[in-house]
Amino acid sequence: MLIRINKYLSDCGVASRRKVEELIRQGRISINENVIYELSTKVNSERDIVKVDGEPVSNKKRVYYLLNKPKGVITTTKDEKGRTTVTDLIKNETAIYPVGRLDFNTTGVLLLTNDGDFSYLLTHPKHKVPREYDVKLDKPLTEDDKLILLSGISLDSKKSKFESIVFTSKKNRFLLRVKCFEGRNHFVKRMFQTLGYTVLSLNRYNFAGIIADIPIGRYRKLSYSEINRIKVRYALQNI
């Protein structure tokens, strides 16, 4: 069966289709030992040998996992210091990759897959995929600062804001849940830090409508309905 090389490598979990096109332009992909440069190149998935940076790639079944990430785990596939990574926690024969990142001590919803297009859909800013975090601050959030965070502040020379801020405790205004569309590193912590607050704990409660309905440190496969709902919702709203 002939299939375009960018779709083939995306299905293998190498990268999104757009990223694969960049790899082709850089001369990093070969088919049967011949480096390719044409973006429209097709590959026989049953016969051809495809390599990326000299390493062979196989078209394995796409898999999707939800991990309720614990503290003290690195959001990567390997760590030079030998620390535990999120992929160490999942028993799976296929190479998988985290969708986006969570900080070392941040807990909560983390998706992992070998579907490059799925990962791209969820992480590219233009798709505006919602993220909700439970936050514990070092001091109560004032109403004035709440309004500032909702209207927007400058972060990395870009106007940044929370879509909503809800206090999760009637008595303690340092416990709250924030919603945003941002996936930049340390985004939530840096937003509060700009106004003089320190985030003491951070848990991603919701990502793309997926909630961690399993204990901390556990994982499960996403259902077909969950995967399809995400793909349909965020692909169609950006056509």
Position 73 scores a pLDDT of 97
User: What is the per-residue pLDDT for 10?
Assistant: 80
Q: State pLDDT tens for residues 171-208.
A: 999 999 999 999 999 999 999 999 999 999 999 999 99
What is the predicted pLDDT for the residue at 159?
A: 94
**Residue 238's pLDDT is what?**
56
Q: Tally Cβ neighbours within 10 Å of residue 122.
A: 21
CATH 3.30.2350.10 fits 130-207, yes or no: yes
Q: What are the domain boundaries of the chain?
A: 2-57, 64-125+216-236, 130-207
pLDDT (0 to 100) of residue 92:
84
Under 8 Å between Cβ of 105 and 234: no
Alpha-carbon distance 198 to 57, whole Å? 44
Question: What is the model's pTM?
Answer: 0.77
Q: How far is the C-alpha of 108 from the C-alpha of 129, rounded, in Å?
A: 16
- Which pLDDT value is given to residue 208? 96
Whether 212 has a pLDDT exceeding 90, the answer reads yes
Q: What is the residue whose two structure tokens read 């079944």?
A: 61
Was domain 64-125+216-236 assigned CATH 3.30.70.580? yes
Strands 210-211 and 55-57: unpaired
Query: Which of the residues are catalytic?
Result: 103
- SS3 state of residue 194: helix
Give the pLDDT of residue 84.
95
DSSP-based three-state secondary structure for 211: strand
Q: What is the pLDDT of residues 91-144, one digit of tens each?
A: 988 889 999 999 999 999 999 998 888 998 999 989 999 999 999 999 999 999
Q: Where are the alpha helices (DSSP H) in the chain?
A: 5-11, 17-25, 116-123, 143-151, 187-194, 224-236
Assign 169 a pLDDT band (cuts: 50, 70, 90).
very high
Label residue 18 left, alpha or beta by phi (over 0 means left) and psi (-120 to 50 means alpha): alpha
Superfamily of domain 2-57: RNA-binding S4 domain (3.10.290.10)
pLDDT recorded at residue 236: 62
* Angstrom distance (rounded) from CA 211 to CA 228: 16
